[in-house]
Structure 1
Amino acid sequence: MRDRAQGSSGRSDADRSTRLTVFVALAANLVIAAAKAVGGVVAGSPALLSEAAHSVADSLNEVFLLAALRRSRRPPDERHPFGYGKERFFWSLLAAVGIFVMGGCFSVFQGVEALRNGADETHSGYVAGLIVLAVALVAEGASLVRALHQARGEDRGLKDPALRTVVAEDGTAVLGVLFAMAGMALHMVTGQVVWEASASLAIGVLLVYVAYRLGADARAQLIGEAADPELSGRIRERLAEEPEIDSVEALFTMKLGLDSTLVAARVDLVPGLDSEEVEEVMVRIKRSLDEEFGETDQIFLDVTDRLAQEVREGPAATGERGGA
């Protein structure tokens, strides 16, 4: 119980750190989005406007992540007996959709429009726009460094979808700013809008790819992803070590949340145990698994009897052979 309390305290501390990281990213994105939008309108820069849309999408996504952190910690209730851990995955999926629609699609649209219609060749305001991007690069880089530092300092690392999304957003933002700066600079030097349009298209493609990866991860977890193979293997080995278990016939796992895993095993016990002994053995094994693997908080053991199963299947098998 003490270890579980310490684990719960550690998870709460990790959640607080993640929440602070998301708040830092949100504050940076709101300020940067406003600066990019003003600079993009003044300069008439499609790359800068694409970056503004990117920052707006990131800001909205941070709100989604804050909702995920708050709602996923609610305790189990009658309607949701396994808790609300998957809320984290749901809101991460919405964040991925936001990156795709508000960031990726708008950036591609800006790039295509710039290629079709050209751009303002006076470059008025481009210097100010480059300064805005330089400031944004520093802010996004600082937010990325904090998120990576937190990921390295925690046991669960980037397994937390909220923290993983922040790292992906900030990393993409740094690359996007570099693309935009390169496109604007080349546009100013060569007078060819194709450079800036290409930068906007590159930003869009990058955002679409990141959104796809984040969305695929969230989808896998929402529909019922198994635990890590390493954890499943350790659980199977631990069950096989129990003297009362003759064999582990089947083992199924599913992630219910960041720190919650369902374990369902079908085991065959050694002969000679009566019903009371079986019940005591099952209780002890569940307690043992719960203590050793803190995240396996939902454990179900199904006792099978291979001999009885063979007896039940015998007539069916014999009938099939006779019919043939």
Structure 2
Amino acid sequence: MSEAEVKTESVGTVVVAGAANLAIAVAKLVAGLISGSAAMLSEAAHSVADTTTEVLLYLALRRGAKPADTRHPFGYGKESYVWAFLAALFTFVAGAGFAITHGVTTILVHEHSGNYLVSYIVLGISFAIESISLARAVKQVRGESRRWRTTPRRFLRLTADTAVKAVFLEDSAALTGLLIAGVGLGLSQLTGDELYDGIASILIGLLLLVVAVVLAKSNISLLVGRAVPERLHREIEHDLAGLPTVDRIDTLLTMQLGPDDILVAAKVDFLDDATGADIEAAADEAERRLTERYPEIGYVFLDPTRSMPGTGGRARRTQDEDDRPVDQEARQT
């Protein structure tokens, strides 16, 4: 799958999820107003938050895809993380905040109108629609994980495409929230106690809170300037070290400039007898190899340098994949 196809699929996934959430939000709101259920109104807020999130994610994909210019020579990829972070923030405030507050209010003062049937119907229809949206997100996640030769779970944890990650997590949370709302309504109907409806609303809010925090943390990390995953780093290092005139890779640094844009910079110790022409040819070959194997790599910079003693032929790193400092020698780089 080409980079352009990946971007198109991401946009399609977001659009499908947004359309589904908009239709569901209206249905849930009507059902919540008719039934007076706190869980249904919280689910309506959940869907409104998801719909707004999809709009922001669509904007993130479009803004992040703008080509580079003189003022932004590395492109606008990181802008996509700004909008994605705002989407997570909206989920936190509008979705989780409303659900938790309304659930507490319901437990303290609210009385259910007793009209349950319409809520059950809307929950069933919503579950079917959300399942379709989630199925599309799952299909893209599986396809992307195969392309990167990794597991879907690891892909979701490490991917720089936070739009796909957001749709998958939000649709998963939506289905879970629908089940929680259904259980809360059922218990309230069986017992006549509004406590369960209120608790369901609070649980939905906490679920949204978890999703918002996970997405916000991921986008903040990418905004700060996150490196590529450890395995990809090692493969890039191996490709560079395999160039004919390269003796060793002294330092290798990478950064995600956007969902589909990676920067690679390395200090390279070339063979002592390598000429200027050899070094230029090696730099061209390095860029060709890396961009052919990984189309997401948009920039490759090589700095000819002498290796520091004790590097042992392996590129020095400042931190490992889990952001824990490694040995003292690496921390001094």
TM range (shorter): 0.7 to 0.9
- The alpha carbon displacement at 1:276 in A equals 4.0
- Amino acid in the other structure paired with 2:117: V
Aligned equivalents of 2:140, 2:239: Cα separation in 1: 32
- The alpha carbon displacement at 1:271 in A equals 1.3
Could you state the TM-score of these two structures normalised by the residue count of structure 1? 0.86
Is 1:47 paired with 2:39? yes
Determine if contact 2:248/2:307 at 8 Å carries over to the other structure: no
Higher Cα radius of gyration: 1
- Amino acid in the other structure paired with 1:291: E
Where do 5+ consecutive residues of structure 2 fail to align?
Answer: 149-154, 310-333
Higher share of residues assigned helix: 1
Aligned equivalents of 1:46, 1:31: Cα separation in 2: 19
Partner of 1:319: none
- How many aligned positions are there? 298
Which of residues 139, 146, 168 in structure 2 aligns to 1:149? 139
- Amino acid in the other structure paired with 1:24: V
Aligned equivalents of 1:20, 1:307: Cα separation in 2: 49
RMSD of the alignment, in Å?
1.9
Is 1:34 paired with 2:19? no
Instruction: Provide the secondary structure at the position in 2 that maps to 1:178.
Output: helix
Partner of 1:166: 167
Partner of 1:296: 297
**1:49-81 alpha-carbon deviations (Å, 9 max, x no partner):** 100100100111111111122122211101111
- The alpha carbon displacement at 1:161 in A equals 1.5
- The alpha carbon displacement at 1:270 in A equals 1.6
CA, structure 1 residues 285+86, in 2 after alignment: closer, same or farther (shift >3 Å)?
A: same
Q: What does 1:111-126 align with in structure 2 at a 5 Å threshold? A: 111-120=103-112, 122-123=113-114, 125-126=115-116
Is 1:140 paired with 2:130? yes
Aligned equivalents of 2:18, 2:296: Cα separation in 1: 30
Is 1:67 paired with 2:59? yes
CA, structure 1 residues 126+100, in 2 after alignment: closer, same or farther (shift >3 Å)?
A: same
CA, structure 1 residues 307+273, in 2 after alignment: closer, same or farther (shift >3 Å)?
A: farther
Instruction: Provide the secondary structure at the position in 1 that maps to 2:255.
Output: strand
Which of residues 83, 90, 93 in structure 1 aligns to 2:82? 90
Percent identity (aligned): 41
Partner of 1:202: 203
Determine if contact 2:250/2:307 at 8 Å carries over to the other structure: no
- Amino acid in the other structure paired with 1:194: L
Partner of 2:260: 259
- Amino acid in the other structure paired with 1:87: E
Partner of 1:246: 247
Where do 5+ consecutive residues of structure 1 fail to align?
Answer: 1-6, 309-324
CA, structure 1 residues 175+306, in 2 after alignment: closer, same or farther (shift >3 Å)?
A: closer
- Amino acid in the other structure paired with 1:297: G
Aligned equivalents of 1:297, 1:112: Cα separation in 2: 50
Aligned equivalents of 2:19, 2:163: Cα separation in 1: 16
Partner of 1:311: none
- Amino acid in the other structure paired with 1:301: L
CA, structure 1 residues 307+228, in 2 after alignment: closer, same or farther (shift >3 Å)?
A: closer
Determine if contact 2:39/2:184 at 8 Å carries over to the other structure: yes
Instruction: Provide the secondary structure at the position in 1 that maps to 2:297.
Output: coil
- The alpha carbon displacement at 1:238 in A equals 1.8
Determine if contact 2:250/2:308 at 8 Å carries over to the other structure: no
CA, structure 1 residues 304+220, in 2 after alignment: closer, same or farther (shift >3 Å)?
A: same
**1:215-268 alpha-carbon deviations (Å, 9 max, x no partner):** 111111111000111111011112222232222111111111122111111111
Aligned equivalents of 1:202, 1:116: Cα separation in 2: 16
Could you state the TM-score of these two structures normalised by the residue count of structure 2? 0.84
- The alpha carbon displacement at 1:23 in A equals 2.0
Deviates more, 1:73-82 or 1:88-97: 88-97
CA, structure 1 residues 212+250, in 2 after alignment: closer, same or farther (shift >3 Å)?
A: same
Q: What does 1:17-32 align with in structure 2 at a 5 Å threshold? A: 17-32=9-24
Deviates more, 1:267-276 or 1:199-208: 267-276
Is 1:110 paired with 2:102? yes
